[in-house]
Amino acid sequence: MKFFVDTADVAAIAELNDLGMVDGVTTNPSLIMKSGRDITEVTKEIAAMIDGPVSAEVVALDLGRDGRRGPQAGADRAQHRHQGAAHRDGLKACRQLSSEGYMVNVTLCFSANQALLAAKAGASFISPFIGRLDDINLDGMQVIADIRQIYDNYDFDTEILAASIRSVNHASEAARIGADIMTAPPDVIRKMAEHPLTDRGLETFLKDWEKTGQKIL
């Protein structure tokens, strides 16, 4: 499973990149707003830091000048991914940009049918927002499972990018179901390494080692 980090916080990306846990980065206008940074500057910094894809949301409702710009400003062509919403204009833009050789990440996906349309429109990635489905008492994981089955039935190449991940359980469940990628906030990825029994065991090992009085020379 590939790990993308869902943030515009450059320091957090650098920290996780040093651990080898960053295969890509996703941002959106809300994350840019939270960072307080300029979208072009921050996208450039992220693209220079990591090897994988960097997604920046398309910031227009059609493919006019603004619909093509934002993301292109920061990353080179190899890393550059457009993100567009899974509505009709977004799918139209996806078809057009895919035919021009761009990789497109279709976001704000909330149903298997939207994912089916995105795959037919040539999307490289489909991003079901599972946390937001759970927020309204729907089953986000079931949507991932349905998309997995549909894509496998027809051998679609579109990769399933589990998004709006809110917890470590979301992460492991998305992996179990077979999402190709997950994009998670830095804190969720950090927490995946934590377990109280690991901490307790480590403490005991260190104490017992001290009691032996031995030194490794």
Give the nearest distance from C-beta 53 to ligand G3P in angstroms: 14
Closest to ligand G3P by CB, 87 or 132: 132
Cβ atoms of 94 and 121 closer than 8 Å: yes
Closest to ligand G3P by CB, 10 or 96: 10
The residues that bridge with 125 in the sheet, in sequence order, are 105, 159
Chain residues in the site for ligand G3P (CB under 6 A)? 6, 26, 28, 129, 131-132, 163-164, 166, 183
Give the nearest distance from C-beta 187 to ligand G3P in angstroms: 11
Closest to ligand G3P by CB, 136 or 217: 136
Closest to ligand G3P by CB, 6 or 23: 6
Give the nearest distance from C-beta 21 to ligand G3P in angstroms: 16
Give the nearest distance from C-beta 6 to ligand G3P in angstroms: 4
The DSSP annotation for 34-103 comes to HHT--HHHHHHHHHHH-SS-EEEE--SSSSSHHHHHHHHHHS-TTTEEEEEESSHHHHHHHHHHHHTT-E
CA distance 163 to 132: 9
CA distance 185 to 189: 7
